[in-house]
Amino acid sequence: MGHVPLYDLFSADYDRFVNWQERLAYELPFIEQQLAACGARRLLDAACGTGIHAIALAQRGYDVTGADLSAGMVEQARRNSTAVGCDVHFVVAGFGELAAKKGNDFDVLLCLGNSLPHVLTTEALHTTLTDFAAALRPGGLLLVQNRNFDAVMHDRARWMGPQSHREGDREWLFIRFYDFNPDGSLTFNVITLRRDGEGEWTQQAEATALRPLLHAELCEAIAAAGFGDVACYGDMTGAPFDPKTSGNLIITARKT
């Protein structure tokens, strides 16, 4: 996967955009249930962003490495880790180079936050997934969290819910939406609005390409990359996946 400038530019505001307290409370029980089922100790958080998942898991006793293609995100992750006195190793590394940079004996590889759809071609997806497999020990667990693009593409669901954040008299609004492109790809747009007090709003718009990975396609690609025991869920409670109604597609698989 090539460089994605949106995330370097968005790194300073990303932790304002996400309600981490709420998100971790919702997601960590399912994640830890999956980790416990495979006796996990060493974790690789691929596309770790600002490192909040990695830090939270390290605080729960796991040996965690975080990797992200965005140097800006990794810098913010390191600041976040230092701020809470947590020992997480963060490295700038993208999909396709994880095993070469960080080794091949992780118990679990996490790819959360709709990161995998940034891989835009079939060939790059295979390279990415075989790299995931190469980073894992035999029997190691892969856990992927994507949006349910079966529903997005069927419903032409362009808009995502706006997010807001306030610090004192400073205010942020984040607006996200897709453009549906003729070649079947998506353009993911993020508009950030900021103001101080009652001052004028400033605006920043960024965009990046996504490949809307469908359930059947992704399961087939994961199996072809050397994984078995592929299971699909519709959210981080472990609900069954429904291609028409689920908000997310969560996939777990074991390296064969």
Per-residue model confidence (pLDDT) at position 16: 78
CATH of domain 5-148+213-255: 3.40.50.150
Tell me the per-residue pLDDT of 64-82, one tens digit each, with 9 for 90 and over: 999 999 999 999 999 999 9
How far apart are the C-alpha atoms of 50 and 60, rounded to whole Å?
A: 18
Please provide the CATH number assigned to the domain covering 152-210.
Answer: 2.20.25
Count other C-beta atoms under 10 Å from residue 103's C-beta.
14
pLDDT at residue 5 greater than cutoff 70: no
d(CA 102, CA 232): 27
Length of the chain, please?
A: 256
pLDDT(224) > 80: yes
Mean pLDDT for 32-49 is: 96
Q: Domain ranges in the chain?
A: 5-148+213-255, 152-210
DSSP 40-90: --EEEEET-TTSHHHHHHHHTT-EEEEEES-HHHHHHHHHHHHHTT---EE
Band (pLDDT 50/70/90 cuts) for residue 6 is low
- How much of the chain, in percent, has pLDDT values that exceed 70? 95
**Residue 128: how many CB atoms within 10 A of its CB?**
24
Question: Using CA atoms, how far apart are residues 185 and 141, in angstroms rounded to an integer?
Answer: 29
How far is the C-alpha of 38 from the C-alpha of 256, rounded, in Å?
14
pTM over 0.75: yes
